[in-house]
Structure 1
């Protein structure tokens, strides 16, 4: 799906309209995740600068994203290595 659709979301008590090529269900999942992460961060820092929980939530989401990207790259590398070994075995068996 390449056409962007408008979606209404609510984050930090503010209603926003976002455009996304994703389904409404996916946008709701993202909205829910963001709100959960913000709530977790607010619980860690209940008073003070209201930007601190937002920064903590962003840092937590970024850390998760980077860890998953690293894990995916490691799995791709391992899969490529395994495929090369299998191809060598097939080639050796055919010779």
Structure 2
């Protein structure tokens, strides 16, 4: 089991402490990505209105990216399996 360290981050102007087994650098990258996506979402909606809308939009954008990358990785893994299967067949057919 990896040791989780405490990290202070700031999101939406709120300072919070999170625990993670990731490096401090990785936690800072995640914090920066979240803040960047929130700022993009806030810029795309009217200033007045429900303050949760930009948060929901940022979450939707991050989730869409996550799902797209997961699909790409799955497709790549399937393609790699097919290549490996063809290589094994070629090796098997070349052996006496």
Q: Considering the TM-score relative to the shorter chain, is it more than 0.5? A: yes
What's 1:89 paired with?
90
Specify every segment of 5 or more residues in structure 1 that has no aligned partner in the other structure, as ranges: none
Question: What RMSD over aligned residues (CA atoms) do the two structures have, in Å?
Answer: 0.9
CA distance in 2, matches of 1:31, 1:77: 32
Where does structure 1 differ by over 2 angstroms across 4 or more consecutive aligned residues?
Answer: none
Q: How far is 1:46 from its partner?
A: 3.4
CA distance in 1, matches of 2:50, 2:22: 33
Task: State whether structure 2 residue 54 is matched by structure 1 residue 53.
Answer: yes
Q: Secondary structure at the match of 1:17?
A: strand
TM-score (normalizing by structure 2): 0.96
TM-score (normalizing by structure 1): 0.97
Specify every segment of 5 or more residues in structure 2 that has no aligned partner in the other structure, as ranges: none
